[in-house]
Chain A
Amino acid sequence: MSVSKLLGAACAVTLVAAPAFAQGYPERQVTMVVPFTAGGPTDTVARLVAERMSADLGKQVIVENVGGAGGTLGAGQVAKADPDGYTVLLHHIGMATSDTLYRNLAYDTENAFDYVGLVTDVPMVIVARKDFEPADFPAFVDYVKGHAEDLTLANAGIGAASHLCGMLLMQALDVPLVTVPYKGTGPAMTDLLGGQVDFMCDQTTNTTQQIKGGTIKAYAATTPERLAVFPDLPTTAEGGLPEVQVSIWHGIYTPKGTPAEVNQRLSASLQKALADEGVIKAMADLGTAPVSAEEATPEALKAKLESEIARWKPVIEAAGVYAD
Chain B
Amino acid sequence: MATKPRDDTDMIAGLLLMAAAAFFGWQTTGLEVGTSLRMGPGYFPMLLSGLLFLLGVWVFLKSFGREGEPTGPIAWRGILFILPAPVFFGLTVRGLGFVPALFLTSLIASQASVKMRPLPALVLAVLVTIISTLIFSYGLGLPFRRFGPWLDF
Quick check: B141 and A60 within 8 Å, CB to CB? Answer: yes
Q: How many residues of B contact A (CB 8 A)?
A: 3
Interface residues of A in 43-73 (CB under 8 A from B): 60, 62-64
Q: How far is the CB of B151 from chain A (nearest CB, A)?
A: 14
B132-153 CB mask vs A (1 if < 8 Å, else 0) is 0000000001010000010000
Let me know if A31 is at the binding interface, CB within 8 A.
Answer: yes
What residues on A are CB-neighbors of B149 within 8 Å?
A: 82
Interface residues of B in 114-143 (CB under 8 A from A): 141, 143
> Does more than half of chain A's interface fall in helix, strand or loop, or is it mixed?
strand
> Does more than half of chain B's interface fall in helix, strand or loop, or is it mixed?
loop
CA distance A38 to B62 in the complex (A): 48
CA distance A41 to B17 in the complex (A): 42
Interface residues of A in 112-147 (CB under 8 A from B): none
Q: How far is the CB of B44 from chain A (nearest CB, A)?
A: 15
CA distance A31 to B145 in the complex (A): 10
What residues on B are CB-neighbors of A82 within 8 Å?
A: 149
CA distance A173 to B114 in the complex (A): 72
What residues on B are CB-neighbors of A60 within 8 Å?
A: 141
What residues on B are CB-neighbors of A63 within 8 Å?
A: 143
What residues on B are CB-neighbors of A64 within 8 Å?
A: 143
CA distance A31 to B149 in the complex (A): 15
B11-54 CB mask vs A (1 if < 8 Å, else 0) is 00000000000000000000000000000000000000000000
Q: How far is the CB of A49 from chain B (nearest CB, A)?
A: 16
Q: How far is the CB of A120 from chain B (nearest CB, A)?
A: 23
B93-105 CB mask vs A (1 if < 8 Å, else 0) is 0000000000000
Q: How far is the CB of A119 from chain B (nearest CB, A)?
A: 19
Task: Closest B residue to A77 by CB, please name it.
Answer: B94
Q: How far is the CB of A223 from chain B (nearest CB, A)?
A: 33
Q: How far is the CB of A211 from chain B (nearest CB, A)?
A: 32
Task: Closest B residue to A64 by CB, please name it.
Answer: B143
CA distance A64 to B144 in the complex (A): 9
CA distance A60 to B142 in the complex (A): 12
What residues on A are CB-neighbors of B141 within 8 Å?
A: 60, 62
CA distance A64 to B98 in the complex (A): 15
